[in-house]
Structure 1
């Protein structure tokens, strides 16, 4: 009964805004004004030659996501896999690359888990409430960000302090006895600024193992996230700033069962996870602001412990310490040079390693409409010596309506601490594989974007091709070994159309053909994915969106094929006044039965309603 009431309430919010539609001003394109922080050169979207997708806080609010992992699926070329919803292990793959080949940054600090086998990032517990922007840079970005960026970068920027003393608070309830709430406060003045925020979620959840297979035990989820950001203006040419994101999450999951679909069925399993990402930075300018200097210390720490029937069964700990200097010299309007040095110290379960890096990036703008970028990076690894990677890119606004992009880059990823220290006892080994070598990649992409004179219509097409050598995978005869050559090719298509003053349509489609050296398609990677969003923003109190997500067929690890699926979500908002807003969301409106990973369930039709206060 509670669920039905919630769904009816959300439907009323979503449909009511259509009936009250009225003209509103068209929104201006952001391509020329939004800086891509992941470029390290403060380039705008029209200046960066690499393919990049940007998901803003407005996008997150429009579609009502409670989990950041769902938002990342909006980016074309990005594949999301999750072992059941609400805290199930979640990973992100860019253009067919493995999840461990995606570098994740939070406010510029790498947060990949050094204790994990592939060194990937666990996206399951990342709450979107405190995120200002997510940038997805596709293709090898090792020249910009070093090891782990062999397949791409997900750069997350947390929300900045409010301009005046103020903040917000929200509370929502939903299906599966889910309660989510939080609040923030911030201020900014000539002396400095700050923002503090807390968000919490608790839910009974659904069974991680698919209920359709007879699994009816609910697997709960709890999350507490604290975010802080602030800075001191030390003078006209100096600023000291810091940010912190701390998460404590607990998620129940199900047990291994070799006889069940996907080898998973109901069981008393639980994982506790605590993560911290923090940094402190000093920014100094010289030569009348032409030379920008940033000194940054970053720290990330992750700890997870698994329990079976209430007894601890696994414990892993890992942390990173990052020391970075970057100088950016604005020589003149045509020439910009960025250069710097980094040292990253990593530890996992008592083992340590260090990586020293030098990098240089150069931007040349011979004319206003053309931006050329090149860079080199040298990484010196404790175990594998030096590796140099290069990158070139170009962005050319051929006309007022047409933008051309192209980029080529190399990637480098050293084996993880886990891979270097793992002893496969059931393989008959008594020591780790001493022959492991770093993974390397090389890729290019080319694209064209067009927009109409009035800005109402936009379309873009990008072709990419990437080869990865010495990819590390598990081998039952040798443990972790360099056994894979992977090639991925594909096309990404994006489009947007302002149909009326109050209706905006956006869509994207990605086709990825990824195979190993033997011609076998990669598992858990659909060839086709797509998103379609219709956003309604009439003049008046109502607004909302319809979102359709499509995931094509994909190969399972057991040789079978997972069916394609399509999901429809609806969101609606009603502004009571300038300070109070009611909102709601229906997920999986058509009650589609589907799996993201074989054997793991997903929610049927479900929803939530909430209220937000801005002060």
Structure 2
């Protein structure tokens, strides 16, 4: 049966080869990705990936997490290198490994991308590109702040003939704002590029990170002795030659949880070996076709379970076509997935984009499968017990989007979405503060988001986003935990002179439930953050204040959020 499913995907790709319709002239070609360029990032004057991604409607990004339209099943890649933490849930992302100064482009696919990138992408896919190394440049940046916050990081790139070299490092420490809330992080990264000719490129990257921190627990169920140490190392080789692209990667991690008050001393090690290969066939300027295959081997071992080994094999094909007589782009794809320990699956994807000069409308459907991670099934902490019986989650996603450019100063984007999930994987906590991941049954995510970009003056830019999400258990009609119905974010960027920058950020999150029976909740909150930066020659001085009003509030999972925090720092670019 598995072979038939995979062959079905390959057969679709072969069929697409014959869909080379005649064309007569150039047509506008639309895109369903939200793209952020290096120039736009530079204008933001931001310090973290969260500062960038939280401006996108429907996207919620934290220091080590990301979700789209309420789903944390989001795949993240940097130049083809997977950035997801193998020892965490699907939403765990090591944003520390991204150098913002070197980003050339960010593409965000909301609710789609599983056909090209495989399982665990029901929420979407984020692709980050740093571009080629072209010269010697770099930066040194440091800041200090409240609660003995200290951060120092550096990066540099240089070009030696046809070879580019990049190095980066970072150290971060923070005493935290509550008991057992401290952390200490070390990171090292390296990048080697080789371009022997116009048609060939090779990018080899290696990254390592160690993170040691305390886990304070919920206010009603504190865990003052719970500690966690995480080691992550990621290696990848991205090769391209003409129309063929190949990606080889090793993503491995170790998580060690201890709590001397409970006699807890548990660890889990995970390795993900993978190989992807894709062929891009461009018939003409309007008609393109991709055919690819992927293999991944996952292994895990730990103190609480015997060694595990799982593997997956998949094949996919996609086809896109734009028309000369109509400003329409059609695309479709199919992926067949074989999983050694879970159900096999066939996932389709269909999209249509209608694009005129000042506006674009799109509609899409795709199905994605999310396999429970080793962390879901076997990790144990002071507040989480394992559940090795988890099964695969399936998500059918529908989306309708409209983008409009009203003038040079104003543009808007609206998206309506409906996601139906089978065997939804969610964290369920009991009345004593202990929980585990469970298959909830059928659930739906439905709602919409709105984005507005407005520049009333050359010195002032206003960016706003709002998301409505109704996430419910279809059997009981109750709301899912940690899924607030309303989120809103507004950024005011003011640049009175080319050397001076100010930002004011307002973030609103509505009330949401923290238990399955909807009897406990955390209140809504509105917080304000501010940032300022002054540039002189190759230096800049910056400062940030989070939670200006010193509001006491709780994150959507019930954890106490930080009070007023401030940092001041200095950066030198060379």
TM-score, normalised to structure 2's length?
Answer: 0.84
Paired position in structure 2 for 1:604:
563
From 63, 73, 77, give the equivalent of 2:58: 77
SS in 1 for 2:176: coil
Shift of 1:104: 3.2
Once the two structures are superposed, residues 129-171 of structure 1 have per-residue CA deviations (whole angstroms, 9 ceiling, x without a partner) of: 56725543221432121111123223344x4565321211112
- 1:320 is aligned, of 255, 262, 272, to 272
Note the alpha carbon deviations across 1:209-228, whole angstroms, 9 max, x for none. Answer: xxxxxxxx352211122222
Q: Does 1:332 align with 2:304?
A: no
Matched, 1:467 2:420: yes
Alignment equivalent of 2:121, drawn from 149, 171, 178: 149
Equivalent residue number for residue 516 of structure 1: 473
Mapped partners of 1:562, 1:148: distance in 2: 29
Q: What's 1:203 paired with?
A: 174
SS at match of 2:454: strand
| Offset of residue 329 of structure 1 | 1.2
Per the TM alignment, residue 394 of structure 1 is displaced from its structure 2 partner at its CA by 1.9
* Displacement of 1:91: 3.9
Contact 1:472-1:481 at 8 Å conserved across structures: yes
Report the equivalent of 2:393.
Answer: 439
1 or 2 for the larger relative contact order (CA 8 Å, sep ≥6)? 1
Q: 2:79·2:238 contact (CA, 8 Å) conserved in 1?
A: no
Q: Give yes or no for contact 1:245–1:278 (8 Å, CA) kept in 2.
A: yes
Where structure 1 has 5 or more consecutive residues not aligned to the other structure, the ranges are: 1-45, 208-216, 286-291, 424-428
Q: Please say if residues 232 and 254 of structure 2, whose CA atoms lie closer than 8 Å, have aligned partners that are also in contact.
A: yes
Structure 1 position 438, deviation (Å): 2.8
The offset of 1:122, in angstroms, is: 4.9
Change beyond 3 A, Cα 1:77–1:614: same
Are residue 565 (structure 1) and residue 559 (structure 2) matched? no
**SS of the counterpart of 2:203?**
strand
Q: Which residue of 2 aligns with 1:409?
A: 366
CA pair 220-384 structure 1, distance change in 2 beyond 3 A: closer
Q: In the alignment, what sits opposite 2:150? A: 179
- State the alpha-carbon separation in 2 of the partners of residues 166 and 63 from structure 1: 18
Match of 1:223 in 2: 185
**What's the offset of the Cα at 1:179?**
1.1
1:54 Cα offset (Å)? 4.3
Per-residue CA distance 1:372-398 (angstroms, 9 max, x = gap) = 211111111113453111111122213
* Preserved CA contact (<8 Å) 2:177 2:563: no
Shift of residue 271, structure 1, vs aligned partner: 1.3
Correspondence list, 1:295-306, <5 A: 295-306=246-257
Instruction: Pick from 542, 547, 555 the counterpart of residue 505 of structure 2.
Output: 547
Distance 1:77 1:61, change over 3 A: same
1:288-315 CA-to-partner distances (Å, cap 9, x unmatched) read: xxxx111221111111112224987121
Does residue 574 of structure 1 match 2:534? yes
SS in 2 for 1:176: helix
Across the two proteins, how many residue pairs are aligned to each other?
527
Q: Normalising to structure 1: TM-score of the pair? A: 0.78
User: Which of the numbers 139, 145, 148 marks the counterpart of 1:168?
Assistant: 139
Q: 1:555 Cα shift?
A: 1.0
2: CA distance between counterparts of 1:162 and 1:537? 30
Distance 1:475 1:174 in 2: 36
SS of corresponding position for 1:538: strand
Deviates more, 1:334-343 or 1:218-227: 218-227
Q: Look up the match of 1:4.
A: none
Question: Which whole-Å CA distance do the structure 1 matches of 2:217 and 2:388 have between them?
Answer: 28
User: Where do 5+ consecutive residues of structure 2 fail to align?
Assistant: 1-27, 302-306, 381-385, 431-435
Distance 1:538 1:194, change over 3 A: farther
2:68 maps to 94
1:559 match: secondary structure? coil
* 1:62 aligned onto 2:36: no
Distance apart, 1:598 and its partner CA: 5.5
Which position in structure 2 is the counterpart of 1:192? 163
In the aligned structure 2, how far is the partner of 1:475 from the partner of 1:452?
45
SS class of match (1:356): strand
CA distance 1:228–1:160, change in 2 (3 Å): farther
Does 1:386 pair with 2:339? no
Cα RMSD of the aligned pairs, angstroms, is 3.1
